[in-house]
Amino acid sequence: MKIDLLEKIEGEAYLEFKTDGDEIVDVRVLFPHFRGVENILVGKDAWDALVINPRVCGICGHAHLQATASLLESIYRIEITQKAQLIREITRFCEIIQNHLKWCYLVIFQELQIPYDFTTMHQTIALVNKLLALFSGQWPHSAYAIPGGVTCDPTALDIVKAKQIRAQIQSNIFKLFGSFEDPKKLEKDLKKLYETLHAKDLLSVGIGLNRFITLSQDSYVENVKILNKKKRKTKLRYIKEIGQSDSYAKNVTYNNRFYETGPLARLLQNPDFFIRYFYRKYKDSIFTRIIARIYEINILIKKIEHHLNSIDLNQLSVVEIEKKDGEGAISIEAARGSLVHKAIIAEGKIENYSIITPTQWNLSNGSSDNPSSIQKAIIGLQDRKIANLIFRSFDICSVCTTH
């Protein structure tokens, strides 16, 4: 048994390799930390979850906030205005973009020792979070999404400002990655990435399960699983979470099977020429996974433009609500994939709260005949350094996973 520490993954994890000679015959991922967020929630006023849940994670707290607000809305049986919906999506897409940029450069480029323009990368991240904060008040850890809508009340001036910031982000992204126009002619940092992986013969390694899942539904994704190119609707009741004795992370399956969630799963839903090109060539390999995440930045920045042009400021930010007790489950797309929140509310207080995070989907520990996506991608390799890189290609979040 060989154990590697994996750090700089929003916390730490251990990889436990079983080898036969040099060959990796099995691998398990162990998360050593636990902070007890689900326990902290019990007995609290349901709305306090809007403040506590973002603290699950410093990089996708906003997704946790929106999941909480949507969950309460599903229990109260209310619908928010299109304006609030669009504003929530704009800020959530911003959070996803800044995550992808940090991961691309601080994790992947760092690991592959590819030089990059730190200043432009950093300015872009700060700008994306500024656009986010224009609506949400601050990033990280805002609590501006509440049952019924959003607490902000943007003016035409804010929208103009938002459009200017967005345009600057778009031009920075072009400066970093080029136009994403032709998958056969990668530009700038995408080209560097391709060439580096090509030189190391890594383009096709790390092939996973080829089973994908997105559990949410919004203007960007559908709740479907994808198997052999066929899409089928998903229902949250088929999700099963099982505890493990040696790790604080729980395994999670859909209909007893492991799936991969995340940007690649989201992009494969649509007949998107750019990602399909790489998917056909390299399957669900490390490279396809990386390029999907970067390409998603480009998709989302355009979605944000569309949303900013579609907001009707005359609509309400918050609709009137009536608080109710009950039980609910909701999923929302976070940067790393589908995030699920479930709760039981009784007399306005939280009786039970359960969170399933994207990393749990991708990094569950299955068995050798029923491996999770990450295990499938690793088993059979000879080199633990490559295995580490494959792990990172899933964009792991340790703090989320162990909440």
Should residue 138 be labelled a site residue for other proteins when binding is judged by CB under 8 A?
yes
Strand pairing report for 326-334 and 239-242: unpaired
Vertex 243 angle, CA 331 and 14, to 5°: 95
**How is residue 319 annotated by DSSP?**
-
State the minimum distance, in angstroms, from the CB of residue 176 to other proteins. 15
Nearer to other proteins among residue 352 and residue 382 (C-beta): 352
Q: Out of 17, 75, 97, 148, point to the residue binding other proteins (CB under 8 A).
A: 148
As measured in angstroms, the least distance from the Cβ of 326 to other proteins is: 19
d(CA 51, CA 285): 38
Pick one of 252, 286, 297, 399: the residue that binds other proteins (CB under 8 A): 399
Give residue 72's identity as a one-letter amino acid code: L
- The number of beta carbons lying within 10 Å of the beta carbon of residue 77 is 11
CB closer to other proteins out of 73 and 284: 73
Dihedral-angle region of residue 122 (phi above 0 means left; psi in -120 to 50 means alpha; beta otherwise):
alpha
Q: Among positive and negative, which fits the CA dihedral 234, 236, 240, 241?
A: positive
Q: How many residues does the chain have?
A: 403
Work out which of 16, 18, 26, 32 binds other proteins, going by CB under 8 A: 32
Please count the other Cβ atoms lying within 10 Å of the Cβ belonging to residue 265: 28
Nearer to other proteins, 44 or 188 (CB): 44
If binding is defined by CB under 8 A, does position 89 make contact with other proteins? no
Q: Using the rule CB under 8 A, which residue among 18, 122, 188, 384 binds other proteins? A: 122
Q: Which of 2, 7, 160, 246 binds other proteins (CB under 8 A)?
A: 7
- Give which of 338, 170, 144, 307 is closest to 238, Cα–Cα: 338
- Should residue 384 be labelled a site residue for other proteins when binding is judged by CB under 8 A? no
Which tokens is 111 given? 């690991």
- Rounded to a whole number of angstroms, the minimum distance from the CB of residue 14 to other proteins is 9
Of 74 and 98, nearer to other proteins (C-beta) is 98
**Which part of the chain contacts other proteins (CB under 8 A), choosing from 69-77, 139-147, 303-311, 361-369?**
139-147
Asked if residues 389 and 111 have their Cβ atoms less than 8 Å apart, the reply is: yes
325 binds other proteins (CB under 8 A): no
Contact 320, 77 (CB under 8 A): no
The least distance separating other proteins from the CB of residue 7, rounded to whole angstroms, comes to: 5
Among the candidate windows 9-17, 223-231, 282-290, 364-372, which touches other proteins by CB under 8 A? 9-17
Please give the residues from 294 up to 323 whose contact with other proteins meets the rule CB under 8 A.
316-318
41-80 binders of other proteins (CB under 8 A): 44-45, 47-48, 50-52, 55-59, 61
**By the rule CB under 8 A, 248 interacts with other proteins:** no
How many residues bind other proteins (CB under 8 A)? The answer is 62
236 burial (CB, 10 Å; 0-12 / 13-18 / 19+) is: middle
Query: 282 or 391, CB closer to other proteins?
Result: 391
By CB under 8 A, residue 106 contacts other proteins: yes
Going by DSSP bridges, is the β-strand pair 145-146/337-346 parallel, antiparallel, or unpaired? Answer: unpaired
132 contacts other proteins (rule: CB under 8 A)? yes
CA within 13 Å, CB half, 279: 23
Q: Using CA atoms, how far apart are residues 74 and 330, in angstroms rounded to an integer?
A: 8
Interacting residue with other proteins among 78, 112, 114, 133 (CB under 8 A): 133
* Structure tokens given for 103: 């991961």
Residue (61 or 358) nearer to other proteins, CB? 61
Q: How many CB atoms lie within 10 A of CB 117?
A: 15
Partners of residue 149 on adjacent β-strands: 146, 318
Interacting residues with other proteins (CB under 8 A) = 5, 7-8, 10-12, 32-33, 35-37, 39-40, 44-45, 47-48, 50-52, 55-59, 61, 102, 106, 110, 118-119, 122-123, 125-126, 129-130, 132-144, 146, 148-153, 155, 316-318, 399
